[in-house]
Amino acid sequence: MLWRDLLLAVRRRSDVATALLFFVIVASLFPLGIGAEPERLRSIAPGVIWVAALLSSMLSLARLFAADYADGTLEQMLLGAAPLGVIVAAKSLAHWLVSGLPLVLIAPLIALQYDVAAPLYGVLALSLLLGTPILSLIGAIGAALTLGLRGGGVLISLLVLPLYVPVLILGAGAVAMADAGLSPEGQLLLLGALLIVAAAFAPWATAAALRISSE
With beta carbons less than 8 A apart as the criterion, state whether 75 and 214 touch: yes
Q: In this prediction, what percent of the chain has a pLDDT beyond 70?
A: 98
Segment 164-179, tens digit of pLDDT:
999 999 999 999 999 8
3-state secondary structure of 85: helix
Q: Are 170 and 191 in contact (CB under 8 A)?
A: yes
Q: How confident is the model over 76-129, as pLDDT tens digits? A: 888 877 888 899 999 999 989 988 899 999 998 998 888 888 889 999 999 999
Identify the pLDDT of residue 200.
94
- For residue 3, give the nearest of 103, 91, 76 by alpha carbon: 91
Among 7-11, 15-19, 45-49, 155-159, the range of highest mean pLDDT: 45-49
Q: Are the C-beta atoms of residues 98 and 60 closer than 8 Å to each other?
A: yes
> Which residues fall within 8 angstroms of residue 202, CB to CB, at 6 or more apart?
92, 137, 138, 140, 141
Rounded-to-integer distance, Cα 87 and Cα 158, Å: 25
Please state, in angstroms and rounded to a whole number, the distance separating the CA atoms of residues 15 and 81.
31
- Residue 151: predicted pLDDT: 63
**Calpha distance 79→186 (Å, rounded):** 43
pLDDT at 35: 75
For the chain, the average pLDDT equals 87
Q: How far apart are CA 68 and CA 55, in angstroms?
A: 23
User: In which band, very low, low, confident or very high, does the pLDDT at 152 lie, cut at 50, 70 and 90?
Assistant: low
**pLDDT reported for residue 129:** 95
Q: According to the model, what pLDDT value does residue 93 have?
A: 92
